[in-house]
Structures are given as C-alpha cells and as structure tokens.
A and B are shown apart, each in its own frame.
Chain A
Amino acid sequence: MVQTKKLKDGSRQIILNGNQYEGITKILAELATKTKASAILFADMSGQLISQRGNTENMNTTVLSALAASDFAATAEMAKLVGEEAKFKLLFHEGEKRNVYLSNVGDYFFLVVVFDVNVTLGLIRIYTKKAIQSLQEILEEESTGGESHKDMIDSDFSSLLGDALDESFK
C-alpha cells in the first residue's frame, strides 16, 4: 500500500516508493500508446503532479495538475449541492481540437487524459478504466517500508533549506 498517513494534526502525508513510481509511469506509457492520447498525467488530489507521459514538453503540466485537482474538488462540492451523495467519478471537457478526460483513482489520486478530438471517447474510456485498475493494484501493493519522511527531512535539512531560501530570496 502506498503510505498514506494521517498525522497527529489530521494532515495527510503520501509517500511513494521507487517501485511504485516506476509501475505507475509504465502504466501511463502503455495507456498513452494504446489511446494515442496527447498527454497523460497522474496526480494527487491536492494538485501535486506525480507522473506524466505523452507529448508534454509544451504543456505546463504542473499547473494543469493544480487546475485539474481544483476541478475535481469543485465538482465534488457541486455533487453535494445537487444532492448526489457520491462524488462524480469522471469529468469530461470537450474542445474543438482537444478533449480532456479526468477520472479519479481511489480517493487520493486522479488521472488526466488529454486527447485529440479524432480519438473516440469510447476508446479512451475503456483503456482508462483498465489503467485505473492497474494503478489501484500498484497503490495497494505492500510497501517495501523503510522509506519514510524521517529520511527525507532531518534537522540538517531544515537549516540547509533556510540557507537556500535566504539565497533565493535575496
């Protein structure tokens, strides 16, 4: 299982190990090949981009993830207002040249598929559904453990970060 910890103060912490990251990226690559999607993003519900595949060089995927997460969160609120008890599972934005298909992956993650209008939506739906199943399997796999935020942030780290901030904010 991907480490999703609730800390004492209620905040959420998600830790992804190397194997999980590689597995996720592989699934995105397969999905990109099968659907001919222009871009595929995997991100967490707070808006942080985790992995991407496709032609994303000219796309600001960091911002795209942040916007997509807000899109999800906003529609979840809309669901409540219109009396839908579950959250809306997928969002679809139709353009003249490109469409965007967003689908949640469990409660904490989601997938963004950007594709040209000449690709049929049905094809995207079928392969995305399969990819989501595989992604969920990876996210549920036993974590190898040992890798935690303790190793990421030690006391040295915070003082060095302070210096780096001073340097950047000159």
Chain B
Amino acid sequence: MFINWALQEINLKIVFYGPGMSGKTTNLEYIHSKLDPSLAGELVSLKTKEDRTIFFDFMQIEVGRIKGKKPKFNLYTVPGQVYYASSRKVILNGVDGLVFVADSQPHRMEANIETLLDLENNLKQDGHTLEEFPWVIQYNKRDLPGVESVETLQKKLNFFSVPYFEAVAVRGDGVFNTLKAIINNVVQHVQNQL
C-alpha cells in the first residue's frame, strides 16, 4: 500500500494468481472491456507469441474520489506455467491482496493445488501467510462440462474458508463480484490492522 498525502491518493496492489490457462488474463481483459475508459488505464500484457503470459498483465483502475481521497487499484496477473516460478515471486512484491483463479476442471485439480502451494511458499518469503493475508478464490470455467462440484473444490482448495466465487470469466460471470470482494477485503484488512 502506498499513500501519497499531497495528492490524497491511496494505491493498492492486487494480484491474480493461479495455474496456467485458468483465466487470470481473461479476468483482466473483461474488466478492461467493461469499465468506463475514464476509470480504467491501458491493459498491458507481456505475452509470448502463443498468447501465453510470460511475465504479467497490468492495469490500473480508479473509482473516482471518495471523501476527497483517490483510491487507485493496480491489478496484476502472474504467468501460470510452472517454469515461470521466479517471475511469479517478483510480481508479488508489495502485494496487498490476492485473487486465486482456480480451474474447475478435474484434470486441473493437481495444478490448482500445486500453484496454491507455490503461492504460499512465495508469500512466506515476504513474511506473509495465506492464513492472515487478504485473498479470495474464484472457481472459473463453471460452464464447461464435467467440472468438479463447488463442494469438492472447496474441500480441496479453500482450507482457510476465504470468500469464493463461481465464474465464467470469458462471459464475465462472477468477474466483478470477485474483484469487488478482494478490494473490500483489502480495505477491511487495512482497517483491522489499526
């Protein structure tokens, strides 16, 4: 979190984390396509030729002034593929809140769990734990046939009972609910630390 009193700005960093192809970039693309251009900055994607995130996506969003203050949210995604582990760690620098985008398909369960462990590991190096840190889970791709039940996903992934959302990010279902929840969560968390 960065507060600039001269400009009455408060900056928060929110990172979308999750296994490869779970829909992190799609979340940002949807937010970018739907928000009023006066509120959303440019969406920058560092991708490979194959359209896979190689480093991160970035976008800044605003919601106008609140009690004279100007909150700004910096949204980032991480590359999901296993071998970009160092890049993921780098993006977490100074993070205030996390969205874990899980893939609901049964064959991706292992990747979900591995990535969650990778996340916990990376957070630890910065002195955070998943138990205390503000984060939410998004169960994405709910429209696909044969997806795991929410109950199963909850049991296998949500061991700290954080808020969770079902989503179909390509259609935008659940995307704004997830974003709103993590922003609220971060703000609450900051208050609780007083």
Contact = CB atoms under 8 A, between A and B. Distances in A.
Nearest to B10: A152
A154 B190 CA distance: 10
A17 B193 contact: no
A162 interface: yes
B194 to A, nearest CB: 6
A159 B190 CA distance: 14
Contacts of A12: 1, 94
B58 interface: yes
A153 B63 contact: no
B74 A13 contact: no
B180 A165 contact: yes
A13 B132 contact: no
A17 B5 contact: yes
A25 to B, nearest CB: 8
Contact of A158 (B36, B89, B184): B184
B191 interface: yes
B3 interface: yes
A157 B61 CA distance: 17
Nearest to A69: B93
Given A7-B193, A149-B190, A13 B3 contact: yes
Interface string A41-81: 00011111010000000001011001101100110110000
Contacts of A158: 184, 187-188, 191
B64 A164 contact: yes
A100 to B, nearest CB: 16
B6 A22 contact: yes
A6 interface: yes
A149 B133 CA distance: 18
Contacts of A9: 127-129, 132-133, 189, 193
B60 interface: yes
A13 B76 CA distance: 18
Given A77-B86, A168-B35, A45 B93 contact: yes
Contacts of B95: 11, 46
Most buried by A among B56, B66, B189: B66
Contact of A153 (B34, B127, B133, B191): B191
A6 B76 CA distance: 22
B44 A155 contact: no
B156 interface: no
Nearest to B4: A16
A8 B189 CA distance: 11
Contacts of A150: 194
Contacts of B55: 70, 74
A10 interface: yes
A162 B180 contact: yes
B63 A74 contact: no
A117 interface: no
Contacts of B60: 62, 66
Most buried by A among B6, B55, B71, B87: B6
User: 5 nearest interchain CB pairs?
Assistant: A46-B94, A10-B127, A21-B6, A73-B90, A169-B176
Given A9-B127, A46-B2, 4 more contacts: A6-B127, A44-B94, A45-B94, A165-B183
